[in-house]
Amino acid sequence: MKKILALNGSPRTHGNSTFLLQHFMEGARQNTTSLNEIRTHELNLKNCQGCLRCNILKLCSISDDDWQELSREILESDVLVFASPIYFHYLPASLKKVIDRFRSFVHVQITETGLSHTPWEVWNKDFVLLLSMGSPDKAEARPVIELFEFMTSILGSSNRLHIITATRLAMAKQIIRTEEELGILYKKLNLPEELVKGDCAENNKVLLNCRGLGSKLSKLA
């Protein structure tokens, strides 16, 4: 049975990222019961101290927070989902904090031309990025996508990255609003009424894609 671990970076209880994730998990539930969602802002996690002792110890030297348990779950997962809002073209701090602690999963060496990364363990996972953003311009999520392209590659050439991006979402729960509800909201936000129909259809399509991806990645090969 596939193990799915999801890290949700939205601090909102009913954030759009949460709905993307909920649909992904519903799809995954068709094939597995091993599903775990963690809200990163609820974690007791310290910042990476940059001590670099992980390069020798092969694990993080901070032992009095949630990382030991979280890192074990990350390593055991088959599918690692990151659901997150875009904050200033990047990740919310709670999720970036988790990513920085990934430093302890790899040995890093300086070479003449750059840094060489070697993971302590063999990684062969599906990484999933479910991104929610206010802008209609997906380019604003590019820095996050580049970060994950980098992370998945340094953790092993067998990893796969899947990305779903949802746009023009300002308010909590917006992605699940009906056409009528979206019409009222767009009026308040001074957005053209002509956008409502297309955006509502797009939101539904994105949620469907999340469900489809969850179903696909949770199937045993």
Ligand X SMILES: Cc1cc2nc3c(=O)[nH]c(=O)nc-3n(C[C@H](O)[C@H](O)[C@H](O)COP(=O)(O)O)c2cc1C
Q: According to the binding rule CB under 6 A, does residue 207 interact with ligand X?
A: no
Task: Pick the binder of ligand X from 22, 77, 94, 132 (CB under 6 A).
Answer: 132
CB of 24 to ligand X, least distance (A): 13
Task: Pick the binder of ligand X from 5, 10, 74, 214 (CB under 6 A).
Answer: 10
CB of 120 to ligand X, least distance (A): 32
Length, in residues, of the chain: 221
Q: Where does this chain touch ligand X (CB under 6 A) — which range of 42-50, 115-123, 168-176, 207-215?
A: 168-176
Q: Are strands 106-110 and 115-119 parallel, antiparallel or unpaired?
A: antiparallel
Q: According to the binding rule CB under 6 A, does residue 199 interact with ligand X?
A: no
Residue closer to ligand X (CB basis): 152 or 167: 167
Quote the distance between the C-alpha of residue 118 and its chain's center: 23
Rounded Cα–Cα distance for residues 87 and 133 (Å):
8
Residue closer to ligand X (CB basis): 9 or 104: 9
Q: According to the binding rule CB under 6 A, does residue 204 interact with ligand X?
A: no
Instruction: Give which of 39, 34, 3 is closest to 21, Cα–Cα.
Output: 39
Tokens of 51: 């001590």
Specify the amino acid at residue 132: S
Task: Pick the binder of ligand X from 4, 7, 16, 126 (CB under 6 A).
Answer: 16
Rounded Cα–Cα distance for residues 183 and 109 (Å):
54
CB of 48 to ligand X, least distance (A): 22
Q: Where does this chain touch ligand X (CB under 6 A) — which range of 11-19, 33-41, 63-71, 97-105?
A: 11-19
Residue closer to ligand X (CB basis): 133 or 154: 133
Q: Dihedral angle at the C-alpha atoms of 50, 158, 22, 39, nearest 10 degrees?
A: -10
Rounded Cα–Cα distance for residues 53 and 215 (Å):
39
Are the C-beta atoms of 103 and 138 separated by less than 8 Å? no
What is the per-residue binding string for ligand X in 79-98, x denoting contact by CB under 6 A?
Answer: ------xxxxx---------
Q: According to the binding rule CB under 6 A, does residue 134 interact with ligand X?
A: yes
Rounded Cα–Cα distance for residues 149 and 5 (Å):
19
- Give me Rg for the CA atoms of the chain: 18
Which residue's CB comes closest to ligand X? 15
* Residues found near ligand X in the complex (CB under 6 A): 10, 12, 15-17, 85-89, 132-135, 140, 169-170, 172
